[in-house]
Structure 1
Amino acid sequence: MTTSTPETSALPVVLLVDGRPSTFVRNVLNQDDVHIVLLRFASAIKDLPQEYLDRTAHLPVFLAQDENLAEEAERYLKWIDTLEHVPTYFCNPQEPHQEVAQPFAESVGLPHLTRQQVTWVRHKTVMKDRFAELGLRCAAYRRVETLAEVALFAEEQGWPVVVKPMDSFACIGTYRIDGPDDLAEVPELAPERRWMAEEYIRGTEYQLCALVTGGKVVDAYLSLNPVPILDVLDGAINANITFAPGEELPLDVWSVCQDLVDGFGLDHGYFHAECFLMDDGTLCVGEAAARITGCEVLANHGLSRGFDIHRATLDTYLGRTPDLRYSEGRAVGDLLLPVKPGRVVSISTEEELLRLPGVLSVQLKLAVGDVATPLRASHASSGFMHVAGGTAAEVEQRMRNVLEHFTIETEPVES
C-alpha cells in the first residue's frame, strides 16, 4: 500500500498566537495537514525558551508590538505578501493575549472574538454581570481600589472574601481573606490595576470544557478539582481529574456549556468554565474563557477518552468537524507536583514515580542543582504527571498516594 502527501497548496493556514510553548502548541506544530504561521507579541518573547525558539525557527513568525495595533495590522498585511501560504484561520490559546490578539485578528480580516466577547470572557466583573443576565448564579462582587473597601464589602457580605485583579489568571494576585485580622497579610492593591472583591463560595469546584463548532457543543467534559483551586496556593493537592465516560455526573455538563456558549455568542473553538456545586446543591458559575484551559486539563480529556484532543481542538478553529471516535473509557487527571524555593538537593525520580499505581506519565521540570523560584500561582510546580483509574474517586486516591511518596528538598540560595 502506498501513502500520499496532501497537496500543500490545499492545506488550511492558521495564524497561531505563540505566547508560551504549551502542550497544545507543541502538538499543533507536529501536524502535517495544516500550515502554521506564528504571531508573537513583543511582551511575551521573554517567556519563550531558546530550545523552543530553535525548534520553531523554520516557521514564518510575525513579531507584533502590543501597542498601535492598527499600524501593526497594516505592517502584517504587507508582510503576508511575502509568504507562500497566507493565513485564513486564527487561533489564540493564550489567555493573557486576548485583548490584543483578538482585535489584531479583526484588523487583518481573520476570524475573531468581538470586543464585547473579549470583555465578557476576560474581565471578571463584566463576565459576572453577563452570568446574571443569563440567569446563572455567581458570586456577589464589588469593584474595589483599597483593602479598606475590601473590608467594607466583607462586613456587608460576610467573611471570608476573595480579592483579585479583574484580569488575573492562574490565581495570580488572588487572595482569600478569612477575617479582618488577615488583611495585614495581603499586599496593598496596586493602583495601576483594577481590582474586585467577591463572595467566597463554599462547595465542590469543577471545570467544564467543550469543543464548539458552528455555535454547537459537539462534546463536553467535566473535571473535578479535589480542593478549590484557590486552596492550592496554601499547599493543598493541585489536580484536575476528568470523569470517566459513564460515571454519574453531578451536573448536566453539556447543557450548561451550551447555555454559556449561546450566552457568549461563541461560534467555534474551545470553551472552558469553572463552577461550584454549593453545599445546598445550587450551581454557581465562577469564570468562563474562550480558549484552551490551563495545566494539562486538555490532555486529561484526550487520555480519558483515548483520542487526539489537541487535533480535535485545532479542527474547531479550522472549520472542520472534529474526529470524536473514542477508544478509552477511564478517568484521568493531572497532578502538579509540589515545589519549594531554593536549590534542589534531592527530588524523586521519574522512574520511582512511574512505578506507583495508575501513573501514566511523569514530566519533571527540576533536577538536582536547579534553582526554583516559584510564583504564587496555581500552576507553580516542580513537574506534573498523569494518573488514571476507573473513576475520578480512584484517581484522586492514587494521586494522594503519589504525594505521600514524592519528595523534594531544597537549600537556600545566596542572593
Structure 2
Amino acid sequence: MRRILVFAKTPHHKTPYDRWLEGTGVEPVILAPAEYADGYRHLEHVHAFEEYDGNQLVEKTALRLARELGVEAVFARAEADVLRAAQLRELLDLPGQRPASALAFRDKVAMKDHLAGGPVELPAFREVQSAYTLLEFVEEHGYPVVVKPVSESGSLGAAILHDEAGLDAYLRRPWRGRSLVETFVEGQMYHVDGLVIGGEVAFVHPFRYVNDCLSFRSDEWVANLPLSPADPAYDRLVAATRQVLAGLPTPVNTAFHAELWITPDDRVVFCEIASRTGGGMISTTVPHVFGLDLDKEWLYAELGLERTFDRPGYRPAGGLNIPPRSGLLEHLPLGGEPECVRETVLHGQAGQVFHGGVKSGLFLAGYVVAGDTEEDVVANMEHVAAWFAKETRWRPVEAEEGVR
C-alpha cells in the first residue's frame, strides 16, 4: 500500500482525500485540527490536534508516522503547513517543495528579494527591523505606506498608514516581530490562481476582487470574480504571474495564488504570491467555473498520478465571502438562497458570538454565485449579499460574553 501524509487543515467535505484517492492504491495518513478530525474518522490513520497551527506535536507525530508507515509523499494545502511540510520532506529526503522554496513563497521579504530588479514591477519595500527602519522609510518615500507581517495570509495584521497620526498609533502598539513596509499602490487588485505540474504551468486564470481584500475590516463582503479570457487585463496578468514563477524557486508541482495590481496609469505591480490554493471561496468556486478541482489535481501531481483535466471550460460565476458582524448571531439563513447560488458554505451557527471580520479568507457565509455574464454575476452577488443581510439577525452583546 502506497501512503501519503496529509496536513489536513480543512474539513473532509472540502478535501475528501480518501474519495479523491479511491482506486489509486494510495492511502492518506491524516493530521488535522481537532475541529476537523471527526470528518476523517472513518479512515485508519487520523490524528487530531488542539491549537493546530502552533502545536509542535504535529511535527513530532508527522515524523513518527512518516517513518513508521513509509510514506512516499507529503501534502499540505494551508499556509500554516507549507513550511512544516517542506522541512519534513527535506529531513526524510522526500520529493516536493523544500524549505528554501517554501520560505521564498511564504516570507514576503525573501520573496521580494528574489524578484527585485526583475521584469515585474514591485513597490519599494524594506524589512522592518525596528521603529527606526519604519521612520526612515517614511522619510524617504512619504505616505501612505503599508506595514504587514512577513508570513501571514489573508491581509492579517496589515496596516495602511496615511499620515503621522496613523504612524504614531501603529508605533504605540507592541512590537509584532518581523514585518515588511512598502509603498502603497493605488489600483484594482487582482489575484491569479493556478497549477504547476511537472515544472510547467498547467492551469492559470486571473480573478478580480469585487470590493477589496480589506473589506472584512468594515464587515463588508468581498468577492472573487474570474475574468473572461477576452478581458484586456487577462493576458497581462497571466504573463506577469508566469514571470514571477520563473523568478522564484518554484516547486515542480504546486498550486499558486498570486496578487497583483493594475494601477490607474496602467502598470502591473506585484503584491505577493503563495505556493498553495487560494483561501476564502476561491477553491470552492473554481470547479463551478472551470470544471476542475485545484487541490485534487495538485494532490495527484505530488503522487505522480495522471491529471484528470485537459482543457478547462469557462462558465461565469464567482465566490462571495460575507464576514461576520460584531454581536450574537440570532438567526442564520439555512436554505432559501436566490436561484443564482450554486453552492453554500457556512462557518457559523445561531448562538455564536462574533467580533467582526478577522482576515479576508475567513467568512461567516460563502456562496458560489452564477450568471450569464460577468456583469450578471456581480449584480447577483449584490442581490445575494442583500438577501443574506435581510435574513440574518444579530443582537449586541456585552464584551465580557466573549466568543462561544
Give 1:360 shift: 1.4
Q: Is the CA contact (8 Å cut-off) linking 2:369 and 2:381 kept in structure 1?
A: yes
Check whether the contact 1:18–1:38 (CA below 8 A) recurs between aligned residues.
no
**Change beyond 3 A, Cα 1:68–1:62:** closer
| Distance of aligned partners of 1:142 and 1:390 in 2 relative to their CA distance in 1, 3 Å threshold | same
Matches within 5 A, 1:296-311: 296-311=281-296
RMSD after superposition: 2.9
Matches for 1:173-252 after TM superposition, within 5 Å = 173-186=157-170, 188=172, 190-191=174-175, 193-252=177-236
Task: Find the counterpart in structure 1 of residue 83 from structure 2.
Answer: 99
State the secondary structure of the residue aligned to 1:390.
Answer: coil
Q: Does 1:329 pair with 2:329?
A: no
* Aligned-partner SS, 2:116: helix
1:153-185 per-residue CA deviation (whole Å, 9 max, x = no partner) reads 223212221111111111111111221122354
Q: 1:217 Cα shift?
A: 0.6
SS at match of 1:155: helix
With over 3 angstroms needed to count, the CA separation of the structure-2 counterparts of 1:78 and 1:129, relative to structure 1, is closer
Give the structure 1 partner of residue 349 of structure 2. Answer: 367
Question: How many residues were matched structurally?
Answer: 389
Q: Which residue of 1 aligns with 2:35?
A: 49
CA shift, 1:248, in A, is 4.8
Per the alignment, residue 68 of structure 2 pairs with 79
Q: Quote the Cα distance in structure 2 between the aligned partners of 1:148 and 1:74.
A: 41
Contact 2:12 2:39 in 1 (8 A): no
Q: Which amino acid aligns with 1:360?
A: R
The share of aligned pairs that are identical, in percent, is: 21
Q: Equivalent residue for 2:387?
A: 405
Q: TM-score, normalised by structure 1?
A: 0.83
Distance in 2, matches of 1:177 and 1:106, equals 40
Match of 2:16 among 27, 34, 38: 27
TM-score by length of 2: 0.85
Question: Could you tell me which residue of structure 1 aligns to residue 252 of structure 2?
Answer: 267
Shift of the 370–189 alpha-carbon distance from structure 1 to 2, 3 Å rule, reads closer
Q: Please name the residue that 2:303 is paired with.
A: 318
2:29 matches 1:38: yes
Q: 1:120 to 1:74 in 2, by over 3 A?
A: closer
Runs (5+) with no aligned partner, structure 2: 50-54
Q: CA offsets per residue over residues 125-156 of structure 1, 9 Å max, x none?
A: 11111121433211111222455643442232
Q: Do 1:361 and 1:385's aligned partners in 2 also have CA atoms closer than 8 Å? A: yes
1:178 & 1:406 partners in 2: Cα distance?
Answer: 33
Who is 1:118 aligned against? 102
Deviation by residue 1:372-409 (Cα, 9 ceiling, x = unmatched): 24452113322110011233333222212222332233
Aligned partners of 1:147 and 1:188 also within 8 Å: no
Q: Indicate if the aligned counterparts of 1:346 and 1:409 stay in contact, CA closer than 8 A.
A: yes
Alpha carbons 2:228, 2:234 under 8 Å: kept: no
